[in-house]
Structure 1
Amino acid sequence: MPTLMIQGTTSDAGKSTVVAGLCRALYRRGFKVAPFKPQNMALNSAVTIDGGEIGRSTALQAQAAGVEPHSDMNPVLLKPEGDQRSQVILAGRVHGSMKALDYHAYKTTAQKTVMACWERLSRRYDVIIAEGAGSPAEVNLRQGDIANMGFAEAVDCPVLLVGDIDRGGVFAQLCGTLGLVSSSEWLRIKGLIINRFRGDISLLEPGLSWLEARENKSVLGVLPYLPGLMLDAEDSLSLEQRVEGGGVLKVVVPALPRISNHTDLDPLRLHPGVSLHVVGPGAPVPEADVILLPGSKSTLSDLAWLRQQGWEERLQRHLRYGGRVLGICGGFQMLGDWIDDPDGLEGEPGGAPGLGLLRMETVLRPTKQLRRISGRITTVDGSCSIHGYEIHQGISRGEALTRPLMTLEGRDEGAVSEDGQVMGTYLHGLFDTPDACTTLLAWLGLNEGEARRIDLNVHREEQLERLADSIEYHLDMDAIIELIS
């Protein structure tokens, strides 16, 4: 089975982007191609066509390949619940929570899942473009590795190594990685890619010649930095404060320590009528029209963090002055009167009072709700169809739910406060479709004259085409196709 693996010198070297670009380039050339990430650690996830859960970046790569995302494409997904503990998702389903050392010992068992998923994909596709995680030079993690060279050697596939020149030291990155892998792994690396280059390529060419001569490896291309390229992120937001956009509607978001599925914010980043402020720890909270509480993988601990950072008092003041509040998934749970985690699914067992802005209580249960879903949303400003997905383990009950925000396939979902200032939902992707985005932003205070339709899927397609064009122009595609032939 033709499989090509893209590995990186570091995290965020551009592996996910290169895989997405290659998937789209090969798809345009007529290949039936699938992405594959043996092991991923991320809090941004997606619901697959078979009702499982995989990393968001892998789902985007599936879209680049022109296929529906499937659980087989990301056999192991680790969702951090703390610095030393993660929820383990195997083949799209929750396996349980493990401490880092326990999971390290478990990897030999997890490898069976990885290989079974790869073999199933191999029967359905012409070629698989696999993505590593972190770096293959992490010598402390080499034993039992399933994320990088351990997988590549198990399936006997060639590897391309990506280095990021934008962060500096790309020659040290590449030479250092090649110097730390084993001899058999060194032979498996068939080419080098330099990513995110800015400037005159002629100034880089002497270094490329030196690199090829020193390492006896071909540089298959230098990918340029693509300004404004915006694709679904794999990892969590930086906790540094930042402001995106200059629109009149000011939306402020706390950068929760365990923020999840923050891709919900992507349409707001793109909207010309919105100014999105992400506020990190210790930073002052700016004046806002809307405070948006995002999803969380550790709702109780992130709620405690909010209180410690003074957000509870800020929310009360915000509402007294007529502001709006929107909670999504974990953020929705925080808006209620009480949150209970009796089984310790996201940390230590126990419960805590919520923010008390919606009359409801939430209990976390072992069974995770995973589904793509559609329906209709109704606000005082209009009604329209809405599409999205649910990923949560909470069950909420209470008076607030008698005033639902939307109807999804015959059932009420979400809640709106009596005064209309507070709204919450379990639905992720609620801004992704143009009509729903326009309707929701009108409720949040963006008047019709300032609105513009934003279609996130159309934007993704434009970005994927732009990326594939760059891949085709700057990489040696003939050499790559020879590797997978």
Structure 2
Amino acid sequence: MQPTTKALMVQGTTSDAGKSVLVAALCRVLARKGVNVAPFKPQNMALNSAVTADGGEIGRAQYVQAMAANIPASVDMNPVLLKPNTDMGAQVIVQGKAVADMNAIGYQSYKEFALPFVMDSFHKLQQQFDTIVIEGAGSPAEVNLRENDIANMGFAEEADIPVIIIADIDKGGVFAHLYGTLALLSESEQKRVIGFVINRFRGDLSLLQSGLDWLEQKTNKPVIGVLPYLHGFDLEAEDAINSSQVTQGEAKLNVVVPVFPRISNHTDFDILRSNPDINLRYVGPGERLDRADLIVLPGSKSVRNDLAHLREQGWDKDIARHIRLGGKVMGICGGYQMLGKSISDPLGIEGEAGSSDGLGYLDLMTELAAEKTLTNVVGTMTLQGLQTKVKGYEIHAGVTQVNEQPLMTLSNGQTDGAISDCNQVIGTYLHGIFDASGVLNTVANWVIGDNVTSINHTKNQEDAINRIADAVEEHLNLKLLWPEMD
């Protein structure tokens, strides 16, 4: 039987125009109406990723969009994920598994290599779902990338689907962005654009009306709606670090996270940002790792290079001073590896082959291997004599030999992580570790001997999805997208 799936693609005038959030919102709106809907992104470039139930790796944005659609995430929702490991190179993940380095494939032959996998995954979703809401990447107006494009109009043309274009008015120049983007498309691409959405508008809509009328007259395309700026709206960012937080007044717990050039899965810290008892501070080049109760070394897509960066910034000296004064340090995934004695990469998995001395605070040694660990896990963490249920996910190429007391016991009987003899340094491979109820309190007690406010991260995500879905239902003319919609 031929698929009868209806599909719609959301493209943006720029990165961070609101594509990911709009796709999540449309998925939730349709799911509320009983439509069997799935998200899809042909190609994603991001260092924030998630592990699906079928044991593959996809961008976290698609994971959240699947949550919005009330379905489990699968590798077919993001068939190609590019994870940059240098300024010029990226690991290429196809249908959930790392298959090659971008340099090995070659940019000129990339589309020929990747497009069949993209279309295969899209067709699989077509067989399973009534509607697919598709997210583009960056902007379709990058004329220098058009020949090898599979992420925007290259995919839309191949799949023969309609497109809407979203622009962020908060960036300024929204009409130039929309008009110019359309003008830079080919004639056939322009024809498949069915309308525009303006995002993050503040103020009286009547003041914008003359501009909307001008845009519709100039392009002969409708403005489907104008979404308001939602104050306090917080949904996982696809890649850019969100440093906004709710702390007001004196925080109980001060947490500092150094930002590596290849920092990965910084969404681990979203729940810290949303806690009123925590002051979370991201530290960049030229800044110090100071004024902290807890320093957390985050994940990294290029651990040895990011460790070298850490030393170049003098952060190793900041960490040593912090520990000498009684402070606590935690490492997650790549940050956990850095805390050990050595990291070796004999196959050049993340860059030039070789070995690096670790920071030496944990008695462990890591060797990067070709086979990646991708798994969702649950277990029990033991810290300060307290046993706390944990859950999270592992995404790493390292195989680590640990000669320390483990931090946790997993449900499969294996252990994870380590606790130093001095009880000041801990590490784990688990991303999302703070999301489990109780873990943050256990860590806070370890650091400052006090509890912090309990936050339900899953509920926060659901509330954010529902909030943007409500705004979409109120402010967009959805009948322009789906005429049969009630």
Name the TM tier (shorter chain).
Answer: over 0.9
Distance 1:398 1:260 in 2: 23
SS of the residue corresponding to residue 154 of structure 1 reads helix
Amino acid at match of 1:420: N
Change (3 A) 1:242 1:279: farther
The answer to whether the aligner puts 1:404 opposite 2:409 as a matched pair is no
Distance 1:243 1:226 in 2: 15
Distance 1:243 1:72 in 2: 33
Residue 204 of structure 2 is matched in structure 1 by: 200
Residue 446 of structure 2 is matched in structure 1 by: 443
Distance 1:383 1:137 in 2: 53
Aligned residues of 1:337 and 1:359 also touching (Cα < 8 A): yes
- Kindly state the Cα deviation for residue 444 of structure 1 after the two structures are TM-superposed: 2.5
Q: Deviations over 1:244-277 (max 9, x none)?
A: 6342210011011100000100111111111001
Give runs of aligned pairs for residues 41-120 of structure 1, distance below 5 A: 41-99=45-103, 102-120=106-124
Aligned residues of 2:23 and 2:39 also touching (Cα < 8 A): yes
Equivalent of residue 344 in structure 2, options 327, 340, 351: 340
- Kindly state the Cα deviation for residue 419 of structure 1 after the two structures are TM-superposed: 1.4
Residue 383 of structure 1 is matched in structure 2 by: 387
The answer to whether the aligner puts 1:425 opposite 2:433 as a matched pair is no
Could you tell me the TM-score, scaled by structure 1's length?
A: 0.96
Residue 176 of structure 1 is matched in structure 2 by: 180
- Kindly state the Cα deviation for residue 104 of structure 1 after the two structures are TM-superposed: 4.2
- Kindly state the Cα deviation for residue 441 of structure 1 after the two structures are TM-superposed: 2.2
Distance 2:443 2:425 in 1: 12
Aligned residues of 1:244 and 1:276 also touching (Cα < 8 A): no
Distance 2:476 2:317 in 1: 53
Q: Which runs of 5+ in 1 are unaligned?
A: none
Change (3 A) 1:227 1:211: same
Aligned residues of 1:158 and 1:483 also touching (Cα < 8 A): no
Distance 2:147 2:444 in 1: 50
Number of corresponding residues = 479
- Kindly state the Cα deviation for residue 428 of structure 1 after the two structures are TM-superposed: 0.6
Residue 234 of structure 2 is matched in structure 1 by: 230
Q: Deviations over 1:162-188 (max 9, x none)?
A: 011000000000010010000010010
Distance 1:197 1:114 in 2: 34
Identity of aligned residues (%): 52
Residue 454 of structure 2 is matched in structure 1 by: 453
Residue 464 of structure 1 is matched in structure 2 by: 465
The answer to whether the aligner puts 1:285 opposite 2:294 as a matched pair is no
Distance 1:321 1:149 in 2: 56
SS of the residue corresponding to residue 370 of structure 1 reads strand
Aligned residues of 2:478 and 2:485 also touching (Cα < 8 A): no
Distance 2:63 2:485 in 1: 22
- Kindly state the Cα deviation for residue 482 of structure 1 after the two structures are TM-superposed: 2.4
- Kindly state the Cα deviation for residue 385 of structure 1 after the two structures are TM-superposed: 1.1
Q: Deviations over 1:171-223 (max 9, x none)?
A: 00001001000001001000100011111111000100011011100000000
Amino acid at match of 2:406: P
Q: Deviations over 1:458-482 (max 9, x none)?
A: 1100111111000100101122222
Distance 1:307 1:85 in 2: 23
Aligned residues of 1:23 and 1:35 also touching (Cα < 8 A): yes
Aligned residues of 1:36 and 1:130 also touching (Cα < 8 A): yes
Distance 1:483 1:46 in 2: 34
Equivalent of residue 245 in structure 1, options 247, 251, 263: 247
Change (3 A) 1:404 1:372: same
Amino acid at match of 1:423: I
Distance 2:96 2:484 in 1: 30
Equivalent of residue 146 in structure 1, options 138, 142, 150: 150
Distance 2:482 2:441 in 1: 43
Amino acid at match of 2:410: L
SS of the residue corresponding to residue 136 of structure 1 reads coil
Residue 264 of structure 1 is matched in structure 2 by: 268
Could you tell me the TM-score, scaled by structure 2's length?
A: 0.96
Aligned residues of 2:402 and 2:418 also touching (Cα < 8 A): no
Q: Which runs of 5+ in 2 are unaligned?
A: none
Aligned residues of 1:85 and 1:100 also touching (Cα < 8 A): no
Distance 1:381 1:462 in 2: 34
Q: Deviations over 1:377-419 (max 9, x none)?
A: 111151121111000000111322xx01001121111000011
Aligned residues of 2:266 and 2:298 also touching (Cα < 8 A): yes
Aligned residues of 2:53 and 2:74 also touching (Cα < 8 A): yes
Aligned residues of 2:196 and 2:225 also touching (Cα < 8 A): yes
Equivalent of residue 211 in structure 1, options 202, 215, 222: 215
Change (3 A) 1:243 1:28: closer
SS of the residue corresponding to residue 343 of structure 1 reads coil
- Kindly state the Cα deviation for residue 144 of structure 1 after the two structures are TM-superposed: 2.8
Give runs of aligned pairs for residues 341-360 of structure 1, distance below 5 A: 341-360=345-364
- Kindly state the Cα deviation for residue 103 of structure 1 after the two structures are TM-superposed: 3.4
Aligned residues of 2:168 and 2:199 also touching (Cα < 8 A): yes
- Kindly state the Cα deviation for residue 142 of structure 1 after the two structures are TM-superposed: 0.7
Amino acid at match of 1:476: N
Residue 9 of structure 1 is matched in structure 2 by: 13
Residue 479 of structure 1 is matched in structure 2 by: 480
Distance 1:19 1:228 in 2: 19
Amino acid at match of 1:7: Q
Aligned residues of 1:249 and 1:446 also touching (Cα < 8 A): no
- Kindly state the Cα deviation for residue 243 of structure 1 after the two structures are TM-superposed: 7.3
Residue 413 of structure 1 is matched in structure 2 by: 416
Distance 2:240 2:263 in 1: 7
Distance 1:317 1:49 in 2: 42
Amino acid at match of 2:476: L
SS of the residue corresponding to residue 143 of structure 1 reads helix
Q: Deviations over 1:112-155 (max 9, x none)?
A: 00000000001111100000001111111111311011111111
Distance 2:284 2:196 in 1: 36
- Kindly state the Cα deviation for residue 484 of structure 1 after the two structures are TM-superposed: 9.0
Distance 1:248 1:474 in 2: 40
Amino acid at match of 1:417: S
Amino acid at match of 1:248: K
